[in-house]
Amino acid sequence: MKLTKARALILIAFSVPVAIELRTVAGFFNVELPLIAVAVIEFLFLALLFVLYGLYGEGSESAA
Amino acid sequence: MATASGGSEFVDKFPDEAAIIKASFLIAFVSLGIGAFFGLIQALHRTNVLRVIDSADYYTLLTGHGVLLAIVFTIFFLCGVFHWAVARSLDRPAESALFSWAWVGLMTTGTVLATVAILGGLVPNLGMSADVLFTFYAPLQAHPIFYIGLAMFIVGTWLSGADWFLSYRAWRQDHPDERIPLQTFMVLTTMIMWYISTLGVAVSVVFFLIPWSLGLIESVNPLLTRTLFWYFGHPIVYFWLMPAYLLWYTVLPKLAGGRLFSDPLARVVFLLFLLLSTPVGIHHQYLDPGIAEGFKFIAMTNTMFLLLPSLLTAFTVVASVEHGARQRGGEGYLRWLGALPWRDPAFTGMALAGAMFAAGGFSGMINAGMNINYLIHNTLWVPGHFHLTVGTAVALTMMAGSYWLVPQVTGTKLYSRPIGLLQVIMWFVGMVFMSNAMHRAGLAGIPRRTAEPQYQNFEFLTPIGSIFELRVQIALGGTLLFLSVVLFLFNILLTSLGEESDRPVDSYLPEPLSGPEGSPRILDNLAMWTGIAAVLVVLAYTLPLAGIIQNGGGLFGGGLPVPATVSAGFDLVMTTVTSAFNTLWGVVA
Ligand code: HEM
Ligand SMILES: [Cu+2]
């Protein structure tokens, strides 16, 4: 499946609620996640998406 | 959904209807723009990020925001969609274009009067204001112009319904044995619900609030106006949702590349809303003294029944969308999601709106529970909840739907699909920030409807994160939402200014997988369903209203309220019945 711009945008959109509530989920397991950790995780996710877009994105040759 | 538009565009086939729809959309979108601007100011003000207004004016803007968005934008858009749906599905124009313009004109005049009264509050020496919030019950009082505008607006909606019933009657004469086309069925059942429920607010406005604001009567029974408001205030929720459901059932599956799963099920859902949406309004009054606990409990159980048609909708719509994805070659348990047309802002917007509605549904169940309601009552949780439901499920569906509908009534191509896509995604992200933080702030006890929730010598606490973060999230979310509205208006404006094109969108709607033949004929018996709905309303409201009138010192208040008991209402009904019986007996004997 190609990672189109639209699909990438949708993935980014859905990552926002997950990131916001990540600390609650961690709280269930008695892990106190600081805000900065969440920011880093979200940033890493976006970076990963960016790389994947470069590899499998609309402009690239290879199709996943 | 029998007819395809067969190549010719809606605007070519029904030019008069297209003009009415365009006018309705225009007013809806202007209201959306102004209302969203007020929303931004509020979001920044109450989080103390940026204060451009005096805190004393907060109520004026909040009233403008609530009225322009939750009443004017949604209902004008609904009128446009319903007018389209009736003409399209019956495949005939309205009986009289003049009559259609009459309701557009009446509703518009009402809107202008009410808006002038509200905004008058910003001009101190005008002596006019209507800071009564969109719930407008006593003891808050507005300038008479506000209530008169409101009454005109409501009568306008009654006429619009009459317009669609007249079309239906004319169609019925030519097609005596056919099933009511699905979209028309949806419009008619929704309007019957609307007639039943607006009676309450009409009584409140015409008999109590207008005479009171004119000084003709000295006082009103505030609990009575509250109860009459909520008698209408819950069904209006479904009046907002039904146009969204109409689009989800009849348009979304097509955009996904498939077709509706079951036409009979869709009909059952609309009938359930007609029956169940009115006898529940008391669930907004769990904390009102003057209504006995027993009636609140009954309202709660009725409310829980209402979950059924919404859950049925979730299943049917998701099944139809999945069917569409599989038609497009989607496979696997979840991988089919990737096969959906995410590039299309109309599809993506509606799908995201539906997803957020699920979250709103959960917080709604919490609101509905009599005991947990006490925890979140009148906190910021409540606007958090309804910005997911009316503010997203409805408003985002309406914006997304416009990307598909507006080209059909203007004959022009959508200006930009990528901007549309960005816009709906921005709404989603903005709303995640704002609404999530509002829910949390509510759990921390921060009140709603106040310019300055920060108190001296008092601190709100959250279990996770800080109040500061929540404030930032609300301000950030509100800003994204406002920018999203700007993008939307810009896109629609440029669309309507564009060049005419032969085929601006593919407007064909396919037949459902399981058609209307499978559904029992009794579903089409609208008179019978109306009767049942009315009986349910009488059962749910007679005793509470009698009690409120007795406890609250009569129809016009004034007396000292006495504590509520079930027997108070019961006593009044019994005394009335016995005295009527005695009178009758006296006549007979
Ligand atoms: C730009 C988008 C929006 C923003 C930034 C926004 C923001 C806000 C804020 C901050 C409040 C005040 C909460 C309080 O003080 O209690 C509010 C209230 C409200 N909003 Fe929105 N909102 C937006 C869109 C909408 C939409 C689309 C609707 C409905 C279609 C809506 C309906 C309402 C209603 C009914 C109220 C409550 C008014 C009252 O309490 O009387 N909003 N909004
Ligand atoms: Cu309700």
Cross-strand pairs, B412: B500
Cα-to-centroid distance, B66 and ligand 1 (Å): 6
Q: Is the dihedral of CA B542, B548, B554, B555 positive or negative?
A: negative
Residues touching ligand 1 (Cβ under 6 Å) are B 36, 39-40, 42-43, 46, 62, 65-66, 69-70, 73-74, 133-135, 383, 387, 390-391, 395, 448-449, 478, 481-482, 485
What lies within 8 Å, CB to CB, of B576 at 6+ separation is B546
What is the ipTM, given to two decimal places? Answer: 0.92
Dig out the tokens for B532 from the structure. 């049942």
| pLDDT at res. B185 | 96
Pairwise CB contact (< 8 Å): A17 & B432: yes
Cross-strand pairs, B514: B262
Cα-to-centroid distance, B419 and ligand 1 (Å): 24
Residue among B28, B31, B50 nearest B40 (CA): B50
Beta carbons of B139 and B222 less than 8 angstroms apart:
yes
| pLDDT at res. A1 | 64
pLDDT in tens, chain B (589 residues): 334 444 468 999 999 999 999 999 999 999 999 999 999 999 999 999 999 999 999 999 999 999 999 999 999 999 999 999 999 999 999 999 999 999 999 999 999 999 999 999 999 888 899 999 999 998 899 999 999 999 999 999 999 999 999 999 999 999 998 999 999 999 999 999 999 999 999 999 999 999 999 999 988 988 999 999 999 999 999 999 999 999 999 999 999 999 998 999 999 999 999 999 888 899 999 998 888 888 899 889 989 988 899 889 989 999 999 999 999 988 989 899 999 999 999 999 999 999 999 999 999 999 999 999 999 999 999 999 999 999 999 999 999 999 999 999 999 999 999 999 999 999 999 999 999 999 999 999 999 999 988 888 888 988 888 899 999 999 999 999 999 999 999 999 999 999 888 778 888 898 888 888 888 888 888 999 999 999 888 888 888 888 888 877 778 876 555 555 555 566 666 677 777 777 777 766 6
Could you give the CA distance from residue B190 to residue B86 in angstroms, rounded to a whole number? Answer: 13
- B334 neighbourhood in chain A, CB within 8 Å: none
Model pLDDT for residues A5-63, shown as the tens digit of each residue? 899 999 999 999 999 999 999 988 988 888 899 999 999 999 999 999 988 877 665 44
Q: Is residue B65 flagged as an active site residue?
A: no
> Among residues B37, B207, B449, B570, which one is catalytic?
B449
Residue A57 φ/ψ, nearest 5 degrees: -70, 180
Dig out the tokens for B430 from the structure. 């903005």
- The pTM of the full predicted model, rounded to 2 decimals, is 0.93
Could you give the CA distance from residue B406 to residue B18 in angstroms, rounded to a whole number? Answer: 9
Cross-strand pairs, A3: A57
- The H-or-E segment that residue B406 falls in is helix B395-410
